[in-house]
Amino acid sequence: MRTQVCIIGGGPSGLLLSQLLHLNGIDTVVLEQRSRDYVLSRIRAGVLEWGSVEVLRDAKVGARMDAEGFAHDGVYLSAQNQEFHIDFKELTGKQVMIYGQTEVTADLYEAREKLDGVVIHDAQGVTPNDLETDAPYVTYIKDGTEQRIDCDFVAGCDGFHGVSRGCIPTNVLKEFERVYPFGWLGILSQTPPARDELIYAQHERGFALCSMRNANLSRYYLQTPLDDPLEKWTDQKFWDELRKRVPDEVADTIVTGPSIEKSLAPLRSFVAEPMRWGRLFLVGDAAHIVPPTGAKGLNLAVSDVHYLYQGLLQHYGGDDDGLELYSERALARVWKSERFSWSMTTLLHRTPDQSPFDKRIQESELAYLASSRAAQTALAENYIGLPF
Ligand code: FAS
Ligand code: PHB
Protein backbone atom coordinates (compact mmCIF):
# COMPACT_ATOMS: atom_id res chain seq x y z
CA MET A 1 0.00 0.00 0.00
CA ARG A 2 1.15 3.59 -0.62
CA THR A 3 -0.05 6.86 0.91
CA GLN A 4 1.22 10.40 1.28
CA VAL A 5 1.13 10.60 5.10
CA CYS A 6 1.14 7.50 7.32
CA ILE A 7 -0.31 8.42 10.73
CA ILE A 8 0.53 6.25 13.73
CA GLY A 9 -2.21 6.53 16.39
CA GLY A 10 -5.98 6.85 16.09
CA GLY A 11 -6.53 9.15 19.05
CA PRO A 12 -7.65 12.79 18.68
CA SER A 13 -4.41 14.05 17.10
CA GLY A 14 -4.11 11.25 14.54
CA LEU A 15 -7.75 11.40 13.50
CA LEU A 16 -7.82 15.21 13.35
CA LEU A 17 -4.67 15.36 11.22
CA SER A 18 -6.08 12.69 8.92
CA GLN A 19 -9.39 14.56 8.56
CA LEU A 20 -7.81 17.95 7.83
CA LEU A 21 -5.40 16.49 5.25
CA HIS A 22 -8.15 14.47 3.58
CA LEU A 23 -10.33 17.59 3.23
CA ASN A 24 -7.42 19.16 1.34
CA GLY A 25 -6.81 16.23 -0.98
CA ILE A 26 -3.86 14.74 0.86
CA ASP A 27 -4.01 10.95 1.23
CA THR A 28 -3.47 9.38 4.66
CA VAL A 29 -3.64 6.03 6.43
CA VAL A 30 -4.13 5.85 10.22
CA LEU A 31 -2.68 2.85 12.07
CA GLU A 32 -4.25 2.32 15.52
CA GLN A 33 -3.13 -0.51 17.82
CA ARG A 34 -6.44 -0.76 19.67
CA SER A 35 -10.05 -1.24 18.65
CA ARG A 36 -12.29 1.76 18.01
CA ASP A 37 -14.40 0.84 21.06
CA TYR A 38 -11.32 0.77 23.27
CA VAL A 39 -10.18 4.19 22.07
CA LEU A 40 -13.68 5.58 22.68
CA SER A 41 -13.85 4.04 26.16
CA ARG A 42 -11.14 6.35 27.51
CA ILE A 43 -12.38 9.27 29.67
CA ARG A 44 -9.94 12.16 29.40
CA ALA A 45 -10.09 15.88 28.67
CA GLY A 46 -13.09 18.13 29.01
CA VAL A 47 -12.09 21.69 28.08
CA LEU A 48 -11.42 23.03 24.56
CA GLU A 49 -9.54 26.27 23.95
CA TRP A 50 -11.30 28.56 21.49
CA GLY A 51 -8.52 27.94 18.97
CA SER A 52 -9.24 24.20 19.20
CA VAL A 53 -12.95 24.85 18.64
CA GLU A 54 -12.10 26.70 15.42
CA VAL A 55 -9.76 23.94 14.18
CA LEU A 56 -12.48 21.32 14.81
CA ARG A 57 -14.97 23.47 12.89
CA ASP A 58 -12.44 23.78 10.02
CA ALA A 59 -12.23 19.95 10.08
CA LYS A 60 -16.02 19.81 9.64
CA VAL A 61 -16.46 18.05 13.00
CA GLY A 62 -17.88 20.95 15.00
CA ALA A 63 -21.64 20.42 14.52
CA ARG A 64 -22.32 18.23 17.58
CA MET A 65 -19.82 20.23 19.66
CA ASP A 66 -21.70 23.45 18.82
CA ALA A 67 -25.05 21.78 19.56
CA GLU A 68 -24.16 19.89 22.74
CA GLY A 69 -21.06 21.65 24.10
CA PHE A 70 -21.20 24.38 26.74
CA ALA A 71 -19.41 27.68 26.11
CA HIS A 72 -18.12 28.87 29.49
CA ASP A 73 -17.22 32.48 30.29
CA GLY A 74 -14.78 31.58 33.06
CA VAL A 75 -13.91 29.43 36.07
CA TYR A 76 -14.11 29.67 39.85
CA LEU A 77 -11.10 29.33 42.11
CA SER A 78 -11.48 28.69 45.83
CA ALA A 79 -9.24 28.62 48.92
CA GLN A 80 -9.78 29.13 52.66
CA ASN A 81 -13.51 28.56 52.15
CA GLN A 82 -13.69 31.59 49.84
CA GLU A 83 -14.23 31.51 46.08
CA PHE A 84 -13.83 34.02 43.27
CA HIS A 85 -14.68 33.97 39.59
CA ILE A 86 -12.30 34.75 36.73
CA ASP A 87 -14.32 36.01 33.77
CA PHE A 88 -12.34 35.08 30.65
CA LYS A 89 -14.94 36.64 28.35
CA GLU A 90 -14.86 39.99 30.11
CA LEU A 91 -11.06 39.97 30.36
CA THR A 92 -10.14 38.56 26.92
CA GLY A 93 -13.32 38.56 24.84
CA LYS A 94 -13.04 34.76 24.53
CA GLN A 95 -14.63 31.68 26.11
CA VAL A 96 -13.77 27.99 26.41
CA MET A 97 -15.94 25.09 25.26
CA ILE A 98 -16.83 22.25 27.61
CA TYR A 99 -17.02 19.17 25.37
CA GLY A 100 -15.41 15.85 26.32
CA GLN A 101 -12.45 14.40 24.44
CA THR A 102 -14.41 11.18 24.06
CA GLU A 103 -17.06 13.10 22.09
CA VAL A 104 -14.41 14.86 19.98
CA THR A 105 -12.87 11.49 19.14
CA ALA A 106 -16.27 9.95 18.34
CA ASP A 107 -17.07 12.88 16.02
CA LEU A 108 -13.72 12.42 14.29
CA TYR A 109 -14.26 8.70 13.81
CA GLU A 110 -17.70 9.39 12.31
CA ALA A 111 -16.26 12.03 9.98
CA ARG A 112 -13.45 9.72 8.82
CA GLU A 113 -16.02 7.05 8.07
CA LYS A 114 -18.18 9.48 6.07
CA LEU A 115 -15.17 10.35 3.88
CA ASP A 116 -14.07 6.70 3.63
CA GLY A 117 -10.90 7.63 5.50
CA VAL A 118 -8.55 4.67 6.02
CA VAL A 119 -8.23 3.87 9.74
CA ILE A 120 -6.72 0.44 10.42
CA HIS A 121 -7.47 -0.87 13.94
CA ASP A 122 -5.68 -3.61 15.88
CA ALA A 123 -2.49 -2.82 13.99
CA GLN A 124 0.29 -4.48 15.96
CA GLY A 125 4.06 -4.04 15.88
CA VAL A 126 3.86 -0.74 14.00
CA THR A 127 7.41 0.12 12.95
CA PRO A 128 8.55 3.23 11.06
CA ASN A 129 11.51 2.62 8.70
CA ASP A 130 13.97 4.68 6.60
CA LEU A 131 12.86 7.93 8.22
CA GLU A 132 16.09 9.67 7.13
CA THR A 133 15.44 8.93 3.46
CA ASP A 134 12.88 10.48 1.10
CA ALA A 135 11.13 7.09 0.90
CA PRO A 136 10.12 6.09 4.44
CA TYR A 137 7.82 3.17 5.04
CA VAL A 138 5.89 1.69 7.97
CA THR A 139 5.37 -1.99 8.66
CA TYR A 140 2.73 -3.52 10.93
CA ILE A 141 1.02 -6.82 11.58
CA LYS A 142 -2.70 -7.24 11.03
CA ASP A 143 -4.43 -10.62 11.56
CA GLY A 144 -1.04 -12.26 11.76
CA THR A 145 0.19 -10.94 8.42
CA GLU A 146 2.93 -8.32 8.03
CA GLN A 147 1.89 -5.33 5.96
CA ARG A 148 3.91 -2.43 4.52
CA ILE A 149 2.87 1.16 3.82
CA ASP A 150 5.18 3.29 1.66
CA CYS A 151 4.71 7.01 2.28
CA ASP A 152 6.17 10.50 2.00
CA PHE A 153 5.89 11.32 5.71
CA VAL A 154 5.13 9.64 9.05
CA ALA A 155 3.13 11.44 11.77
CA GLY A 156 3.78 10.02 15.23
CA CYS A 157 0.40 10.61 16.90
CA ASP A 158 0.81 7.59 19.14
CA GLY A 159 0.78 9.13 22.60
CA PHE A 160 3.27 9.04 25.46
CA HIS A 161 3.75 5.28 25.32
CA GLY A 162 3.89 5.04 21.54
CA VAL A 163 6.69 3.88 19.25
CA SER A 164 7.45 7.13 17.40
CA ARG A 165 9.49 9.13 19.93
CA GLY A 166 11.86 6.18 20.28
CA CYS A 167 12.73 6.47 16.57
CA ILE A 168 14.69 9.65 17.25
CA PRO A 169 18.34 8.76 18.00
CA THR A 170 19.20 9.09 21.70
CA ASN A 171 22.10 11.41 20.86
CA VAL A 172 19.63 13.76 19.16
CA LEU A 173 16.57 13.52 21.44
CA LYS A 174 16.46 15.83 24.46
CA GLU A 175 13.84 15.11 27.15
CA PHE A 176 12.67 17.48 29.89
CA GLU A 177 10.55 16.14 32.74
CA ARG A 178 9.04 16.91 36.10
CA VAL A 179 7.08 14.19 37.91
CA TYR A 180 4.65 15.43 40.58
CA PRO A 181 4.44 13.61 43.96
CA PHE A 182 0.68 13.07 43.70
CA GLY A 183 -2.02 11.89 41.30
CA TRP A 184 -5.57 12.85 40.34
CA LEU A 185 -8.39 10.49 41.25
CA GLY A 186 -11.21 11.18 38.80
CA ILE A 187 -14.84 10.06 38.81
CA LEU A 188 -17.70 10.47 36.40
CA SER A 189 -21.24 10.54 37.85
CA GLN A 190 -24.65 11.03 36.30
CA THR A 191 -25.42 13.98 38.53
CA PRO A 192 -25.88 17.70 37.86
CA PRO A 193 -22.62 19.70 38.10
CA ALA A 194 -21.72 21.49 41.34
CA ARG A 195 -21.79 24.90 39.60
CA ASP A 196 -22.52 26.45 36.24
CA GLU A 197 -18.76 26.59 35.55
CA LEU A 198 -15.65 24.71 36.75
CA ILE A 199 -14.33 25.09 40.31
CA TYR A 200 -10.60 24.70 40.98
CA ALA A 201 -10.30 24.30 44.76
CA GLN A 202 -7.03 24.69 46.68
CA HIS A 203 -7.21 23.23 50.19
CA GLU A 204 -4.94 22.17 53.05
CA ARG A 205 -6.19 18.59 52.50
CA GLY A 206 -5.40 18.72 48.80
CA PHE A 207 -6.66 19.97 45.46
CA ALA A 208 -10.15 19.28 44.09
CA LEU A 209 -11.74 20.07 40.73
CA CYS A 210 -15.46 20.19 39.97
CA SER A 211 -16.04 19.81 36.23
CA MET A 212 -18.73 18.45 33.95
CA ARG A 213 -19.63 16.93 30.57
CA ASN A 214 -23.30 17.99 30.39
CA ALA A 215 -26.26 19.05 32.59
CA ASN A 216 -26.45 15.56 34.07
CA LEU A 217 -22.91 14.26 33.79
CA SER A 218 -20.32 15.57 36.23
CA ARG A 219 -16.56 15.01 36.35
CA TYR A 220 -14.75 15.44 39.68
CA TYR A 221 -11.09 15.06 40.64
CA LEU A 222 -9.25 14.84 43.96
CA GLN A 223 -5.51 15.14 44.47
CA THR A 224 -4.44 11.84 46.04
CA PRO A 225 -1.15 10.17 47.00
CA LEU A 226 0.31 8.26 44.06
CA ASP A 227 0.34 4.97 45.98
CA ASP A 228 -3.32 5.14 46.98
CA PRO A 229 -5.06 1.95 45.83
CA LEU A 230 -8.20 2.72 43.80
CA GLU A 231 -10.17 0.23 45.93
CA LYS A 232 -9.60 2.48 48.98
CA TRP A 233 -11.72 5.15 47.34
CA THR A 234 -15.32 4.09 47.72
CA ASP A 235 -17.84 6.51 46.26
CA GLN A 236 -18.84 7.60 49.76
CA LYS A 237 -15.21 8.31 50.72
CA PHE A 238 -14.76 10.30 47.51
CA TRP A 239 -17.84 12.48 48.09
CA ASP A 240 -17.00 13.03 51.77
CA GLU A 241 -13.47 14.17 50.88
CA LEU A 242 -14.66 16.36 48.03
CA ARG A 243 -17.08 18.14 50.35
CA LYS A 244 -14.21 18.91 52.76
CA ARG A 245 -12.13 20.58 50.03
CA VAL A 246 -14.68 22.87 48.39
CA PRO A 247 -16.32 25.95 49.99
CA ASP A 248 -19.18 25.13 52.39
CA GLU A 249 -21.89 26.61 50.15
CA VAL A 250 -20.70 24.32 47.32
CA ALA A 251 -20.40 21.29 49.62
CA ASP A 252 -23.95 21.83 50.82
CA THR A 253 -25.39 21.71 47.29
CA ILE A 254 -23.30 18.97 45.60
CA VAL A 255 -25.58 16.21 44.27
CA THR A 256 -23.83 12.89 44.73
CA GLY A 257 -24.47 9.59 43.01
CA PRO A 258 -22.78 6.34 41.97
CA SER A 259 -19.56 6.70 39.97
CA ILE A 260 -19.78 5.31 36.43
CA GLU A 261 -16.02 5.66 35.94
CA LYS A 262 -13.21 5.96 38.46
CA SER A 263 -9.49 6.23 37.61
CA LEU A 264 -6.23 7.46 39.07
CA ALA A 265 -3.79 9.32 36.80
CA PRO A 266 -0.20 10.31 37.67
CA LEU A 267 0.85 13.88 36.85
CA ARG A 268 3.93 14.84 34.94
CA SER A 269 5.33 17.66 32.82
CA PHE A 270 7.30 16.29 29.86
CA VAL A 271 8.70 17.64 26.61
CA ALA A 272 10.76 15.86 23.94
CA GLU A 273 12.82 17.93 21.51
CA PRO A 274 13.01 18.04 18.53
CA MET A 275 9.52 17.11 17.33
CA ARG A 276 10.88 16.12 13.92
CA TRP A 277 13.40 13.54 12.72
CA GLY A 278 13.80 13.30 8.94
CA ARG A 279 10.37 12.38 7.56
CA LEU A 280 8.91 11.72 11.07
CA PHE A 281 6.90 14.39 12.90
CA LEU A 282 5.87 13.92 16.56
CA VAL A 283 2.39 15.20 17.46
CA GLY A 284 0.52 15.53 20.77
CA ASP A 285 1.28 13.29 23.73
CA ALA A 286 3.98 11.52 21.70
CA ALA A 287 6.05 14.68 22.22
CA HIS A 288 4.74 16.29 25.41
CA ILE A 289 2.65 15.78 28.53
CA VAL A 290 1.18 18.39 30.86
CA PRO A 291 -0.48 18.03 34.28
CA PRO A 292 -4.24 18.40 33.55
CA THR A 293 -4.57 21.41 35.93
CA GLY A 294 -4.35 23.82 33.00
CA ALA A 295 -6.66 21.76 30.72
CA LYS A 296 -3.96 21.82 28.01
CA GLY A 297 -3.25 18.19 27.02
CA LEU A 298 -5.80 17.76 24.28
CA ASN A 299 -5.47 21.41 23.22
CA LEU A 300 -1.71 21.04 22.67
CA ALA A 301 -2.40 18.01 20.48
CA VAL A 302 -4.71 20.19 18.38
CA SER A 303 -2.04 22.90 18.32
CA ASP A 304 0.58 20.51 16.90
CA VAL A 305 -1.92 19.24 14.33
CA HIS A 306 -2.59 22.83 13.26
CA TYR A 307 1.12 23.50 12.59
CA LEU A 308 1.81 20.13 10.90
CA TYR A 309 -1.30 20.26 8.71
CA GLN A 310 -0.34 23.75 7.52
CA GLY A 311 3.24 22.59 6.88
CA LEU A 312 2.14 19.55 4.87
CA LEU A 313 -0.30 21.63 2.85
CA GLN A 314 2.53 24.03 1.98
CA HIS A 315 4.88 21.13 1.15
CA TYR A 316 2.48 19.68 -1.41
CA GLY A 317 2.13 23.20 -2.75
CA GLY A 318 5.90 23.34 -3.29
CA ASP A 319 7.04 25.22 -0.17
CA ASP A 320 8.89 23.44 2.67
CA ASP A 321 9.15 26.32 5.16
CA GLY A 322 6.22 25.05 7.24
CA LEU A 323 7.77 21.61 7.69
CA GLU A 324 11.23 23.06 8.31
CA LEU A 325 9.79 25.29 11.04
CA TYR A 326 7.30 22.75 12.46
CA SER A 327 9.30 21.65 15.49
CA GLU A 328 10.36 25.20 16.41
CA ARG A 329 6.84 26.64 16.02
CA ALA A 330 5.10 23.76 17.84
CA LEU A 331 7.59 23.76 20.71
CA ALA A 332 7.32 27.53 21.22
CA ARG A 333 3.61 27.09 21.99
CA VAL A 334 4.14 23.79 23.86
CA TRP A 335 6.55 25.38 26.33
CA LYS A 336 4.15 28.27 27.05
CA SER A 337 1.43 25.73 27.90
CA GLU A 338 3.91 23.66 29.92
CA ARG A 339 4.71 26.74 31.97
CA PHE A 340 1.04 27.59 32.51
CA SER A 341 0.14 24.00 33.47
CA TRP A 342 3.09 23.82 35.87
CA SER A 343 2.15 27.18 37.43
CA MET A 344 -1.51 26.19 37.92
CA THR A 345 -0.39 22.88 39.45
CA THR A 346 2.05 24.44 41.91
CA LEU A 347 -0.45 27.19 42.78
CA LEU A 348 -3.29 24.80 43.61
CA HIS A 349 -1.72 21.64 45.07
CA ARG A 350 -0.29 21.10 48.55
CA THR A 351 2.72 18.77 48.66
CA PRO A 352 4.07 16.88 51.71
CA ASP A 353 7.46 18.60 51.47
CA GLN A 354 6.01 22.13 51.48
CA SER A 355 7.47 24.41 54.15
CA PRO A 356 5.29 26.90 56.07
CA PHE A 357 6.93 29.59 53.92
CA ASP A 358 5.85 27.77 50.72
CA LYS A 359 2.27 27.64 51.99
CA ARG A 360 2.20 31.34 52.76
CA ILE A 361 3.55 32.11 49.28
CA GLN A 362 0.79 29.95 47.76
CA GLU A 363 -1.86 31.68 49.84
CA SER A 364 -0.58 35.14 48.95
CA GLU A 365 -0.45 34.29 45.23
CA LEU A 366 -4.09 33.23 45.35
CA ALA A 367 -5.00 36.37 47.32
CA TYR A 368 -3.22 38.48 44.69
CA LEU A 369 -5.04 36.63 41.90
CA ALA A 370 -8.37 37.24 43.65
CA SER A 371 -7.69 40.97 43.80
CA SER A 372 -5.79 41.82 40.60
CA ARG A 373 -7.34 42.31 37.16
CA ALA A 374 -3.87 42.10 35.61
CA ALA A 375 -3.16 38.75 37.29
CA GLN A 376 -6.57 37.41 36.28
CA THR A 377 -6.05 38.59 32.69
CA ALA A 378 -2.74 36.73 32.52
CA LEU A 379 -4.38 33.54 33.76
CA ALA A 380 -7.36 34.04 31.43
CA GLU A 381 -5.31 34.51 28.25
CA ASN A 382 -3.38 31.32 28.99
CA TYR A 383 -6.45 29.29 29.92
CA ILE A 384 -8.47 30.24 26.81
CA GLY A 385 -5.37 29.50 24.75
CA LEU A 386 -2.56 31.68 23.40
CA PRO A 387 -2.67 32.46 19.67
CA PHE A 388 -1.28 29.79 17.29
P1 FAS B 1 -3.58 9.70 22.72
O2 FAS B 1 -2.76 8.99 23.76
O3 FAS B 1 -4.94 10.18 23.04
O4 FAS B 1 -3.73 8.76 21.42
C5 FAS B 1 -2.65 7.97 20.97
C6 FAS B 1 -3.22 6.77 20.24
O7 FAS B 1 -2.13 6.04 19.68
C8 FAS B 1 -3.96 5.83 21.17
O9 FAS B 1 -5.24 5.53 20.65
C10 FAS B 1 -3.07 4.59 21.24
O11 FAS B 1 -3.81 3.38 21.34
C12 FAS B 1 -2.34 4.66 19.92
N13 FAS B 1 -1.03 4.01 19.93
C14 FAS B 1 -0.10 4.05 20.91
N15 FAS B 1 0.98 3.34 20.54
C16 FAS B 1 0.73 2.84 19.29
C17 FAS B 1 1.45 2.03 18.39
N18 FAS B 1 2.67 1.58 18.69
N19 FAS B 1 0.86 1.69 17.22
C20 FAS B 1 -0.37 2.16 16.90
N21 FAS B 1 -1.12 2.93 17.72
C22 FAS B 1 -0.56 3.27 18.90
N23 FAS B 1 -5.90 16.36 28.92
C24 FAS B 1 -6.66 17.42 29.29
O25 FAS B 1 -6.59 18.46 28.63
N26 FAS B 1 -7.50 17.33 30.37
C27 FAS B 1 -7.62 16.18 31.11
O28 FAS B 1 -8.38 16.12 32.06
C29 FAS B 1 -6.86 15.05 30.76
N30 FAS B 1 -6.98 13.89 31.45
C31 FAS B 1 -6.20 12.81 31.10
C32 FAS B 1 -6.29 11.59 31.80
C33 FAS B 1 -5.48 10.51 31.45
C34 FAS B 1 -5.58 9.21 32.22
C35 FAS B 1 -4.58 10.61 30.36
C36 FAS B 1 -3.68 9.45 29.97
C37 FAS B 1 -4.49 11.81 29.66
C38 FAS B 1 -5.32 12.91 30.00
N39 FAS B 1 -5.26 14.13 29.30
C40 FAS B 1 -6.01 15.20 29.64
C41 FAS B 1 -4.37 14.28 28.20
C42 FAS B 1 -5.02 13.68 26.99
O43 FAS B 1 -6.26 14.26 26.78
C44 FAS B 1 -4.06 13.83 25.83
O45 FAS B 1 -3.50 15.13 25.78
C46 FAS B 1 -4.69 13.52 24.48
O47 FAS B 1 -5.25 12.25 24.56
C48 FAS B 1 -3.58 13.61 23.43
O49 FAS B 1 -4.06 13.04 22.26
P50 FAS B 1 -3.06 12.20 21.32
O51 FAS B 1 -1.80 12.94 21.15
O52 FAS B 1 -3.88 11.81 20.15
O53 FAS B 1 -2.65 10.91 22.20
C1 PHB C 1 -12.19 17.65 32.86
O2 PHB C 1 -13.37 18.05 32.78
O3 PHB C 1 -11.86 16.46 32.68
C4 PHB C 1 -11.10 18.64 33.18
C5 PHB C 1 -11.39 19.99 33.16
C6 PHB C 1 -10.39 20.91 33.46
C7 PHB C 1 -9.13 20.45 33.79
C8 PHB C 1 -8.83 19.08 33.81
C9 PHB C 1 -9.83 18.18 33.51
O10 PHB C 1 -8.15 21.34 34.09
pLDDT, tens digit, 9 for 90 and up, residues 152-201 = 999 999 999 999 999 999 999 999 999 999 999 999 999 999 999 999 99
Q: Is 383 a catalytic residue?
A: yes
Q: Mean pLDDT for the chain?
A: 97
pLDDT at 24: 97
Over residues 272-318, the pLDDT tens digits come to 999 999 999 999 999 999 999 999 999 999 999 999 999 999 999 99
- The verdict on the CB of residue 219 being under 6 Å from ligand 2 is yes
Catalytic residue selected from 12, 128, 292, 309? 292
| Residue 230 burial (CB count, 10 A) | 10
Task: Give the atom of ligand 2 at the shortest distance from the alpha carbon of 219.
Answer: 2
CATH architecture label of 5-72+97-177+268-344 = 3-Layer(bba) Sandwich (3.50)
Nearest to 151 by CA among 8, 321, 330, 322: 8
Cα–Cα distance for residue pair 292/296, rounded to 1 Å = 7
User: Atom 26 (ligand 1): residue with closest C-alpha?
Assistant: 45
Residue in 102, 103, 198 to alter for ligand 2 test, most ligand atoms within 8 A of Cβ:
198
Digit-coded pLDDT (tens) for 49-93: 999 999 999 999 999 999 999 999 999 999 999 999 999 999 999
Average pLDDT over residues 111-133: 98
211 in contact with ligand 2, CB cutoff 6 A: yes
pLDDT value of position 39: 96
Q: What long-range pairs does 257-260 form, CB within 8 A, spacing at least 24? A: 257/189, 257/190, 257/191, 258/189, 258/190, 259/187, 259/188, 259/189, 259/235, 260/188, 260/189, 260/190
Furthest C-alpha separation in the chain: 63
DSSP per-residue codes, 225-265? -TT--GGG--HHHHHHHHHHHS-HHHHTTPPP--EEEEEEE
Give the pLDDT confidence score for residue 4 in this predicted structure.
Answer: 98
CA of 28 to the centre of ligand 2 (A): 31
Q: What's at 299, amino acid-wise? A: N
Which residue lies with its CA nearest to atom 19 of ligand 1? 33
Predicted confidence (pLDDT) per residue in 84-94, tens digit: 999 999 999 99
In angstroms, what is the C-alpha Rg of the chain?
21
- 180-266+352-384 and 5-72+97-177+268-344 share a CATH fold: no
Output the CA 368–ligand 2 centroid distance in Å. 24
State yes or no: pLDDT of 352 exceeds 90: no
Task: Yes or no: say if 241 and 222 are a contact pair by the CB < 8 Å rule.
Answer: yes
Q: Over pLDDT 70: what percentage of the chain?
A: 100
* Catalytic residue list contains 200: yes
pLDDT tens digits, one per residue of 249-277? 999 999 999 999 999 999 999 999 999 99
Mean pLDDT confidence for 34-61: 96
Q: Which residues contact 288 (CB under 8 A, 6 or more apart)?
A: 270, 271, 272, 300, 334, 338
291 is catalytic: no
Average pLDDT over residues 2-6: 98
Ranges of each domain in the chain: 5-72+97-177+268-344, 180-266+352-384
Residue 200's closest CA among 354, 345, 364, 99? 345
Helix (H, G, I), strand (E, B) or coil at 150: strand
Q: Under CATH, what is the fold of the domain 180-266+352-384?
A: D-Amino Acid Oxidase; Chain A, domain 2 (3.30.9)
Q: Which residues line ligand 1 (CB under 6 A)?
A: 8-14, 31-34, 39, 44-46, 101, 123, 126, 157-159, 162-163, 265, 284-285, 292, 295-298, 301
**Active-site entry in 72, 203, 306, 349:** 72
Burial of 41 (0-12, 13-18, 19+ CB in 10 A): exposed
Phi, psi of 48 (to 5 degrees): -110, 130
Report d(CA 28, CA 17) in Å as an integer. 9
The DSSP code for 350 is -
